[in-house]
Each structure stands twice: as structure tokens, then as C-alpha cells.
């Protein structure tokens, strides 16, 4: 029985590794292979003719570097906006607790039941009215309206002992000082989780950047690569895809300890 359980665990771990790393390895292999070889031998474990030059050629020919810069700018602004709104909104709901807080909380919770596509037309009209279309603001500002992050951070703030707030108030600390000197330093695990969610969502976002940024020179990689698929060599396109997935993977590897701690504190699963 114990041997069978151990075998099952090993098989599950191997299956998870293959499921997670398999697609990444396939992209890596396709990025250093020729288009003809990828079509003839799609299941080969290693290319017969390794072409590392595909990465450099994709960087210049497909202008991956330019679109990657656009992506970093859009992701950085979206991350800051989401983090600012999530922390300040959760602080108001969890710590300051105004009389109308329960109504605001209910309104924020209700937005989770609305698909994003429902409000996309009105959001686009708002962007046009504000004259911020084809600018980073058209992506940054809507990114802040992320109710799940607010509720996630509020759940964490609710777990901070109330005695700490009372002691800070007795020492003369105001709301802003309590927020910056007490709450934020204690919230690094949940801030890491929100940061990961914000970066990942912004990095892979396709539909809204495509609508808000009609100027092709301002588009991120997630929008540019599908647009270039019809006119580009497949090997160079896959090389561009490999370059696109490297930054978020590196971010996760660098901050995985804080992210796992934050998941444990919040009870977030999956």
C-alpha cells in the first residue's frame, strides 16, 4: 500500500512537471529550430540544426525589443495603479471603516459578478472622452478597477490585530502614518501576491490593449505578436514568444518565497 502511494505521488509530480514545463520547453525548442524542422519533426526533443540566431533576428526583425519596452511600461503602470488602489481601498474598508463602508464593500463585491466585456464599450467611450486613447493612461487607469485585489488585501488587513492600531493612535500616529509605517510593512506577503497577479494579468492582457491602443507602435507584445503572425517566419515568431515569457517567469522565481507566504496568509488556493 505504501509503495503504491509513493508511486502515485511520483507519477503525479512527473505529470505536473510535464504539464507546466512541457509547453515552455516546446517554445524553447521551436525558438532555436528552423521553421521547416519544426513542421517536419514537431515531437523531436532537440533540433538537429540549432539556430540561436533566431532570438537576435526576432529582436531586430520583428522589433521585439520595441514591443517589449511598451509591455514593460504598460505593466509597470498597471502594477502601480492596482497596488495603490488595492492597498488604499482595503485600508479604508478594513481600518478606517467609514459609515458608508459596507455599501462601498457591497458595490465592490458586486463587480466581481460582472464580466469585463459588459463594461468594455462604456469604458472605451470614457477613454475617448478623456482623450487618453493610444496613451499608457488608457491601460493604467482601468487596471486599477480590480475588485478582487481590493478584497484580497482587505482580508489580509482584517487579520492584523486591532491592538496595534490602537497603540499607534495612542502614540499620536494619524491614518496616513499608520498606513505607511505600520500596515504596509506588515503586508509584504500579500503585496507580493497582488504584485504577481497584477504583473501576470497585465503582461498577458490582449483584448483591452488592442482596443485602447490602435496605434501599432504603442502596442505591447501580447498584441503585436498575433498581429505579426500572418507575415512573419514561424521560427522567429516562436522566438519572440520565448522572449515574451522570460520576464514573468523570472519575476516569479525571484519572489516565489514572498508569494507562497502571501498565499498561505490569505488562504488563496489554486
Q: Check whether residue 189 and residue 150 sit in a common domain.
A: yes
The count of domains in the chain is 2
Weakly modelled stretches of the chain, pLDDT under 70 = 1-5, 258-270
Q: Check whether residue 141 and residue 238 sit in a common domain.
A: yes
pLDDT digits (tens, 9 = 90+) for 178-220: 999 999 998 888 888 898 889 988 998 999 999 999 999 999 9
Q: Check whether residue 89 and residue 12 sit in a common domain.
A: no
Gyration radius of the chain over CA positions: 23
Q: Check whether residue 130 and residue 155 sit in a common domain.
A: yes
Please state the pTM of the whole predicted model.
Answer: 0.84
CATH number of the domain at 260, please: 1.10.3720.10
- For residue 235, give Cα distances in angstroms to 51, 142, 231: 9, 35, 12
Q: Check whether residue 122 and residue 9 sit in a common domain.
A: no
- For residue 125, give Cα distances in angstroms to 81, 198, 205, 211, 219: 21, 24, 19, 11, 19
Q: Check whether residue 160 and residue 207 sit in a common domain.
A: yes
118: in domain: yes
Question: Is-contact 163 144, C-beta < 8 A?
Answer: no
Mean pLDDT, the chain, whole residue set: 86
Question: Is-contact 151 108, C-beta < 8 A?
Answer: yes
Question: Please, what is the end-to-end C-alpha distance for the chain in angstroms?
Answer: 29
8: in domain: yes
Q: Check whether residue 133 and residue 240 sit in a common domain.
A: yes
pLDDT digits (tens, 9 = 90+) for 51-78: 889 999 989 888 999 999 999 999 999 9
Q: Check whether residue 136 and residue 183 sit in a common domain.
A: yes
Q: Domain limits at 11? A: 1-51
Amino acid at each position: 500500500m505504501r509503495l503504491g502511494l509513493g508511486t502515485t505521488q511520483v507519477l503525479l509530480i512527473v505529470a505536473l512537471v510535464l504539464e507546466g514545463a512541457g509547453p515552455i520547453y516546446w517554445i524553447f525548442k521551436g525558438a532555436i529550430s528552423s521553421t521547416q524542422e519544426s513542421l517536419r519533426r514537431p515531437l523531436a526533443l532537440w533540433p538537429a540544426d540549432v539556430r540561436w540566431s533566431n532570438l537576435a533576428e526576432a529582436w531586430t526583425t520583428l522589433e521585439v525589443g520595441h514591443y517589449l519596452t511598451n509591455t514593460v511600461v504598460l505593466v509597470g503602470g498597471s502594477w502601480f495603479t492596482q497596488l495603490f488602489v488595492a492597498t488604499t481601498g482595503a485600508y479604508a474598508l478594513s481600518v478606517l471603516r467609514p459609515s458608508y463602508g459596507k455599501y462601498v464593500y457591497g458595490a465592490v463585491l458586486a463587480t466581481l459578478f460582472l464580466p469585463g466585456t459588459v463594461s468594455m464599450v462604456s469604458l472605451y467611450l470614457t477613454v475617448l472622452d478623456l482623450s487618453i486613447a493610444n496613451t499608457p493612461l488608457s491601460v493604467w487607469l482601468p487596471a486599477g478597477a480590480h475588485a478582487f485585489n481590493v478584497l484580497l488585501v482587505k482580508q489580509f488587513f482584517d487579520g492584523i490585530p486591532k491592538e496595534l492600531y490602537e497603540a499607534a493612535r495612542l502614540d499620536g500616529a494619524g491614518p496616513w502614518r499608520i498606513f505607511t509605517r505600520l500596515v504596509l510593512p506588515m503586508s509584504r506577503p500579500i503585496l507580493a501576491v497582488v504584485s504577481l497577479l497584477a504583473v501576470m494579468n497585465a503582461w498577458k492582457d490582449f483584448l483591452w490593449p488592442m482596443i485602447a491602443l490602435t496605434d501599432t507602435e504603442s502596442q505591447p507584445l501580447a498584441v503585436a505578436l498575433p498581429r505579426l503572425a500572418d507575415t512573419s517566419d514561424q521560427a522567429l515568431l516562436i522566438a519572440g514568444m520565448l522572449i515574451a515569457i522570460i520576464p514573468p517567469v523570472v519575476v516569479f522565481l525571484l519572489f516565489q518565497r514572498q508569494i507562497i507566504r502571501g498565499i498561505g496568509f490569505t488562504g488563496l488556493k489554486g
